[in-house]
Amino acid sequence: MKLQFELLLIWILNALALIAVANFVPGIHVEGFTAALIAAFFLGLVNTLIRPLLLLLTLPVTLLTLGLFIFIINGLLFWFVGSVLRGFVVDGFWYGVLGAVLYSIFSWALSAAAAQLLRKQ
């Protein structure tokens, strides 16, 4: 039961992080909280299933660029999800890279704050 609550909380926090990213980056648009929930779900799915495969396939390039190529992969995946879903739009590749970086930061900060609040209870 606790695990289900934590997963639901993380999902909601990721949707809020996505809305925050859309407010900071002019090339990223989210039509509402429902669209943000759907996009957060698909971003999590893509990052769980596709990202590890891409990281493995691009390992030589990632090593040559000292890990900076991971930003390109994250941006491409963020841009891909934005091009597939309705209600979540990423206008271009560089907006995808910036959006992926900010989404990671906001998501991490919200999850860390929630973990601190839940730990105190």
Q: pTM score, two decimals? A: 0.91
- Average of per-residue pLDDT across 49-56: 96
* Separation of first and last alpha carbons in the chain: 16
pLDDT for the residue 1: 72
pLDDT surpassing 70 at residue 95: yes
Of residues 1 and 114, more confidently modeled = 114
pLDDT surpassing 90 at residue 71: yes
DSSP 88: E
Tokens of 107: 């998501």
- Average of per-residue pLDDT across 7-35: 95
* SS3 call for 22: helix
pLDDT surpassing 80 at residue 83: yes
Tokens of 4: 């289900």
Q: What confidence tier does 120 reach under pLDDT thresholds 50, 70, 90?
A: confident
Domain definitions of the chain by residue range: 2-115
- Average of per-residue pLDDT across 40-63: 96
pLDDT surpassing 70 at residue 81: yes
